[in-house]
């Protein structure tokens, strides 16, 4: 069951199409990574879904009664408040019964690992602590859907790990849509990937689906010189892409396997420097998708 469906969603600023006819769904309990370079439209999409920005056209169908929590890319904190005061205020603003707001805030701060710091003023918090507090304010009312704009991008590796583990502990219970350009981390927590480029969704699917479309395993053969590479490309029985002193063979179901390649090379007189099997990482896929036409 979907908690949210987006159809032909667009946002224009004058002549500029910040978001240009985007379609996707969020299944209940799923984690979706919204991936794209700077200016691709990630913040604009999240702001429209959060109801903070009006769409120019298109439609956002939210499940009836859907509650949403939002962590902006640059959350504003009041440095003079304590973490508990701030989270309690967020709880009340999100509609939590005022009598229960303090208790709910305490529980949430504990969940994000800020129990000890609950009575401390936010002004003295580190980046990682602020990000966890940002998460606390987004989830203090136990929303059905969490929208997180770059929740880990500004953190150092240990901060990223902490926040990622926190988010993973929510996976399956809360529907999560988060934007990021840290692809190694995205690989860990994603049921659906949405690749955004210049306001358009250029690729979407599960990690396995996207991998199978882009991350075709391939075999690279490096030769001593260009002549040998060219001869291989002309004479071998497989389609081979020619590169500088090398050829690349797609290792598809119909293509050769390593053994075939070795057998062929053993009986040929081509001077080979190396043979390697390669698979593309999510990072490679991102570069391919984003560098498209």
Point out which residues bind ligand ATP (CB under 6 A): 13, 16, 18, 36, 38-44, 73
The sign of the dihedral angle between the CA atoms of 239, 244, 245, 251 is negative
Q: Which is nearer to ligand ATP, 39 or 113 (CB)?
A: 39
Residue 194 is given by DSSP the state E
d(CA 174, CA 169): 10
Q: Which is nearer to ligand ATP, 141 or 160 (CB)?
A: 160
CB 118 within 8 A of CB 83: yes
Q: Which is nearer to ligand ATP, 10 or 190 (CB)?
A: 10
CB 195 within 8 A of CB 290: yes
**Least distance between ligand ATP and beta carbon 196 (Å):** 7
Q: Give the position of tokens 């988010």.
A: 167
**Least distance between ligand ATP and beta carbon 42 (Å):** 3
Within a 10 A sphere around the Cβ of 200, how many other Cβ atoms? 17
Q: How far is CA 169 from CA 166, 234, 284, in A?
A: 5, 54, 28
CB 138 within 8 A of CB 93: no
Residue 63 is given by DSSP the state P
**Least distance between ligand ATP and beta carbon 64 (Å):** 28
d(CA 102, CA 109): 10
**Least distance between ligand ATP and beta carbon 35 (Å):** 10
Q: Which is nearer to ligand ATP, 22 or 164 (CB)?
A: 22
Q: Which is nearer to ligand ATP, 37 or 255 (CB)?
A: 37
Q: Which is nearer to ligand ATP, 41 or 256 (CB)?
A: 41
Listed residue (244, 255, 251) closest to 276, CA to CA: 251
Residue 278 contacts by C-beta under 8 Å, 6 or more apart in sequence? 217, 218, 219, 220
d(CA 138, CA 91): 9
Q: Which is nearer to ligand ATP, 37 or 217 (CB)?
A: 37
CB 225 within 8 A of CB 271: yes
**Least distance between ligand ATP and beta carbon 152 (Å):** 13
**Least distance between ligand ATP and beta carbon 66 (Å):** 22
**Least distance between ligand ATP and beta carbon 43 (Å):** 3
């Amino acid at each position: 069951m979907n908690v949210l469906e987006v159809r032909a969603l667009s946002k224009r600023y004058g002549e500029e199409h910040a978001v240009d006819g985007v379609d996707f769904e969020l299944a209940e309990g799923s984690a979706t990574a919204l991936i794209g370079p700077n200016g691709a439209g990630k913040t604009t999409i999240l702001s429209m879904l959060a109801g903070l920005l009006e769409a120019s056209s298109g439609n956002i169908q939210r499940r009836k009664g859907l509650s949403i929590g939002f962590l902006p890319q640059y959350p504003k904190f009041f440095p003079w408040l304590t973490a508990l005061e701030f989270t309690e205020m967020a709880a009340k603003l999100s509609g939590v019964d005022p009598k229960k707001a303090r208790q709910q805030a305490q529980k949430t701060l504990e969940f994000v690992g800020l129990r000890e710091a609950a009575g401390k003023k936010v002004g003295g918090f580190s980046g990682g602590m602020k990000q966890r507090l940002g998460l606390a304010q987004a989830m203090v009312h136990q929303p059905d859907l969490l929208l997180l704009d770059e929740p880990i991008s500004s953190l150092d590796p240990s901060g990223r790990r902490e926040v990622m583990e926190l988010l993973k502990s929510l996976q399956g219970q809360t529907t999560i849509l988060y934007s990021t350009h840290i692809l190694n981390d995205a690989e860990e927590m994603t049921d659906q990937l949405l690749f955004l480029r210049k306001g358009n969704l250029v690729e979407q699917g599960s990690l396995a689906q996207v991998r199978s479309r882009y991350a075709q395993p391939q075999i690279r053969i490096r030769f001593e010189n260009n002549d040998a590479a060219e001869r291989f490309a002309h004479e071998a029985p497989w389609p081979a892409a020619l590169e500088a002193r090398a050829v690349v063979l797609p290792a598809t179901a119909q293509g050769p396997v390593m053994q075939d390649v070795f057998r062929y090379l053993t009986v040929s007189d081509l001077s080979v420097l190396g043979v390697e099997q390669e698979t593309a990482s999510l990072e490679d896929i991102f570069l391919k998708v984003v560098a498209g036409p």
